[in-house]
């Protein structure tokens, strides 16, 4: 079972001024990787008035224990993904390389990073989409459990609350 209290403890540290937003997102991504036993977790924010691209703000990779940021996913390149995430507000792809919404990532992303499974949940503030929390599994495919999905939804809600209360 995933520890949702961990997410609220991170939020509390942010609220108390013990973390800035950047450090909060770093700690959250690492915590989600550890709790969900996932390979990579990232927080991506929509860019522009049309929200037609996602910018990686913080991505933790358990493989090397490092954070990265700055990657951009554009709707022009990943139309099926953007359509699905807008319509359903989540992507649950155990076999991400063959799932209609994520197969568009095969060349130049999944193949380079050895990603086989993906679980994404939209971050919202007052019902408006602000970005995505994305969980990826490398090396082999993974069936995402209901607990994994619920934990990712809690992580996205925690980021949304942080954005609402403290801005980006």
Whether 165 and 18 have beta carbons less than 8 Å apart is answered as no
Short-list 6, 28, 4, CA closest to 162: 28
Identify the helix (H) or strand (E) that includes residue 23: helix 21-36
Q: Write down the pLDDT at residue 167.
A: 80
Burial of 84 (0-12, 13-18, 19+ CB in 10 A): buried
**For residues 41 and 28, what is the distance between their CA atoms, to the nearest angstrom?**
9
Provide the mean pLDDT of the chain: 96
Whether 39 and 139 have beta carbons less than 8 Å apart is answered as yes
For residue 159, how many C-alpha atoms fall within 13 Å in the half-sphere facing its CB?
Answer: 31
pLDDT in tens, 113-146: 999 999 999 999 999 999 999 999 999 999 999 9
**For residues 30 and 102, what is the distance between their CA atoms, to the nearest angstrom?**
23
**For residues 96 and 21, what is the distance between their CA atoms, to the nearest angstrom?**
30
Model confidence, pTM: 0.95
Q: Write down the pLDDT at residue 1.
A: 63
Q: Write down the pLDDT at residue 86.
A: 95
Neighbours of 55 (CB within 10 A): 16
Q: ∠ CA 132-68-74 to the nearest 5 degrees?
A: 45
Give bridge partners of residue 74 from the DSSP assignment: 53
Token look-up 């949940």 returns 121
Whether 38 and 25 have beta carbons less than 8 Å apart is answered as no
């Amino acid at each position: 079972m995933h520890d949702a209290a961990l997410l609220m403890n991170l939020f509390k540290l942010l609220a108390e001024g013990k973390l800035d937003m950047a450090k909060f997102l770093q700690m959250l991504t690492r915590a989600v990787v550890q709790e969900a036993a996932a390979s990579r977790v990232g927080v991506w924010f929509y860019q522009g008035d049309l929200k037609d691209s996602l910018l990686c703000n913080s991505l933790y990779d358990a493989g090397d224990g490092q954070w990265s940021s700055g990657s951009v996913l554009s709707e022009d390149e990943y139309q099926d993904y953007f359509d699905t995430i807008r319509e359903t507000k989540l992507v649950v792809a155990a076999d991400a390389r063959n799932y209609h919404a994520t197969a568009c990532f095969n060349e130049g992303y999944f193949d380079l990073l050895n990603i086989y499974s993906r679980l994404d949940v939209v971050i919202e503030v007052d019902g408006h989409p602000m970005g995505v929390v994305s969980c990826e599994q490398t090396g082999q495919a993974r069936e995402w459990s209901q607990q994994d999905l619920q934990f990712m939804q809690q992580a996205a809600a925690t980021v949304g609350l942080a954005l609402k209360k403290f801005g980006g």
